[in-house]
Chains A and B, each alone.
Chain A
Amino acid sequence: MELSLATRTVGEHTVLEVGGEVDVYTAPRLRERLLELIDGGARRVVVDLGRVDFLDSTGLGVLVGALKRLRSAGGSFALVCDKEPLLKIFRITALDQVFPLHPTVDAAINADPTGAGA
């Protein structure tokens, strides 16, 4: 399945729902969308990986890029993921210690240390 991207707003958070395959071919589109959101003023971003069925190193690189960009802009960035195969990818690469990972969008928003949750 190709990459799908959908954005919605929950309070002060921008939630980007990603679906399909994030790989070396599709990751540039994910990067563009994240940059558009951040350049457009989004500072509290949650990326929901719930419908992702493939994620490779290129996709992970894009997510880390967004995390760094938001962090240096004083914003927050969190991921939603509850699929074991994807979680294993985060553990193996030690990126589970870099990203705030949450099982649901609500959990990600409520845990946001920059506030505006709940």
Chain B
Amino acid sequence: MMATVKLSFSPAPVHVRTARLVGVAVARRAGVREDLLDEVRLAIGEACTRAVALHRQYGLPDPVYVEMSDSGAYTVRVVDRAPIEASIGLAALPPDELAKESLSEDALTTGVGFALLAGFVEDLQVRPVDEGVGTEVRMVWPAGRA
């Protein structure tokens, strides 16, 4: 039977860990391969960290929304409400850029976060939400419950 777990949390860093733990628990239950779980944990963390950072940057008290479902594959959607142009946009930063004095820690963290998402999630989409303002980060992993 298809299972969906929905989670919404106030945009505070302390809750990102909760989202990671829930995300991995549901992934395990959905039958995602054991050796992929570290990557699932990291990717959900990065997507939620990005959403929390955007909500704080724009002063949005709205919760960050996470939906996990195992209809065939394991799909995780992380939705923010920030008024930005949604896209993968940032390519991975080359090493000489990363070490540059002029690159701020925030910019570096954002770039590195995207590199991790793109590197760890084969099936990744970043797109505007269907209704209203915001971005959806959608990640899919193969799953097969025995």
Contact = CB atoms under 8 A, between A and B. Distances in A.
A57 B99 contact: no
Given A21-B17, A92-B120, A64 B45 contact: no
Contacts of B49: 23-24, 56-58
Q: Is the interface of B mostly helix, strand, loop or mixed?
A: helix
B93 interface: yes
Interface string B82-104: 00000000001111001101000
Given A61-B112, A93-B112, A24 B13 contact: yes
Contact of A97 (B13, B95, B109): B95
Interface string B11-47: 0011011001000000000000000001001100110
B93 A94 contact: yes
Interface of B: 13-14, 16-17, 20, 38, 41-42, 45-46, 49, 52-53, 92-95, 98-99, 101, 105-106, 108-110, 112-113, 115-116, 119-120
Given A57-B113, A93-B116, A95-B98, 4 more contacts: A56-B42, A58-B109, A92-B120, A94-B93
Interface of A: 21, 23-25, 54, 56-58, 60-62, 64-65, 67-68, 72, 85, 89, 92-95, 97-98
